[in-house]
């Protein structure tokens, strides 16, 4: 899937950008809307069953999801345009989480990028006011796969939570795999 900005400037024409790093599909969505693609075996934890990835591309960004048929556990976020400087203008989400107050959660995932870059990982409400739920952290990626383990506790029950990866600060593609929340 490919998210295309609704407005591309005064002439509302298509901007010139390098799309060689993405595989566009026939499905498109306007900026600021969520769309999803199903992937198998995303969740291994006892808390959650199989879920869908949702990509948010807002502002003047252009990003898409790529799933490898050979490894359905890996999601690649190809970013053709990310010039807003706002980290959450390209955001990968796993939604529909039910979290209990005062319980310790452990988030595990693997990640890499085509070139060294920074991303942010968090757990937050999946509804207005989109408040954080105890985890929001800067992560440094390299071109090698790295394992990340983060522990957090939330203060109140939340029945519409999400894990989110904020990727909008630069156009370097990111791959994420083996996301597990227990």
What does the alpha-carbon distance between residue 80 and residue 86 come to, in Å, rounded to a whole number? 15
Instruction: Check the CA dihedral 137-174-181-51 and report its sign.
Output: positive
Query: What pLDDT is stored for residue 71 in this prediction?
Result: 82
Q: Is the pLDDT of residue 104 over 50?
A: yes
Percent of the chain with pLDDT over 90: 60
How confident is residue 37, by pLDDT bands cut at 50, 70 and 90? very low
Query: What pLDDT is stored for residue 182 in this prediction?
Result: 92
Using DSSP bridges, classify how beta strands 90-99 and 117-125 pair: parallel, antiparallel or unpaired.
unpaired
Mean pLDDT for all residues in the chain: 76
Q: Is the pLDDT of residue 38 over 80?
A: no
How confident is residue 20, by pLDDT bands cut at 50, 70 and 90? very low
Query: What pLDDT is stored for residue 26 in this prediction?
Result: 27
Q: Which whole-number Å values give the CA distances from 75 to 37, 60, 72, 95, 101, in the listed order? A: 10, 22, 8, 15, 30
Residues 111-119, mean pLDDT to the nearest whole number: 97
The conformation of residue 89, written as its DSSP 8-state character, comes to G
Residues 113-127, mean pLDDT to the nearest whole number: 96
**Phi, psi torsion values for 42, nearest 5 degrees:** -75, -35
Query: What pLDDT is stored for residue 27 in this prediction?
Result: 29
Q: Is the pLDDT of residue 178 over 80?
A: yes
Q: Is the pLDDT of residue 138 over 80?
A: yes
What does the alpha-carbon distance between residue 139 and residue 117 come to, in Å, rounded to a whole number? 9
Tokens (6 digits) for 107 = 């988030």
Comparing CA positions, the residue from 129, 167, 132 lying closest to residue 152 is 132
- Give 45-101 pLDDT, tens digit per residue: 332 223 478 999 998 889 999 988 888 789 999 999 988 889 999 999 999 899 999
**Exposure pattern of 128-158 as b/e (b: 16+ CB <10 Å)?**
eeeeebbbeeebebeeeeeebebebebeeeb
Comparing CA positions, the residue from 115, 121, 112, 131 lying closest to residue 170 is 115
Task: Quickly list H helices, 91-173.
Answer: none
Is the pTM higher than 0.75? The answer reads no
Query: What pLDDT is stored for residue 108 in this prediction?
Result: 97
């Amino acid at each position: 899937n490919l998210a295309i900005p609704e407005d591309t400037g005064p002439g509302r024409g298509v901007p010139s950008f390098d799309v060689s790093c993405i595989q566009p599909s026939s499905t498109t969505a306007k900026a600021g809307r969520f769309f999803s693609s199903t992937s198998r075996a995303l969740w291994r934890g006892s808390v959650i069953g199989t879920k869908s990835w949702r990509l948010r591309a807002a502002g003047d960004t252009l990003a898409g999801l790529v799933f490898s048929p050979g490894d359905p556990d890996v999601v690649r976020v190809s970013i053709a345009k990310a010039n807003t400087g706002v980290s959450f203008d390209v955001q990968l989400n796993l939604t529909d989480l039910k979290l209990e107050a005062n319980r310790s959660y452990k988030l595990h995932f693997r990640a890499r990028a085509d070139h060294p870059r920074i991303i942010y990982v968090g757990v937050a409400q999946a509804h207005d006011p989109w408040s954080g739920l105890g985890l929001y952290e800067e992560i440094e990626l390299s071109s090698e796969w790295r394992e990340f383990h983060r522990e957090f506790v939330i203060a109140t029950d939340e029945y519409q939570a999400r894990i989110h990866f904020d990727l909008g600060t630069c156009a370097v593609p990111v791959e994420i795999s083996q996301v597990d929340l227990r």
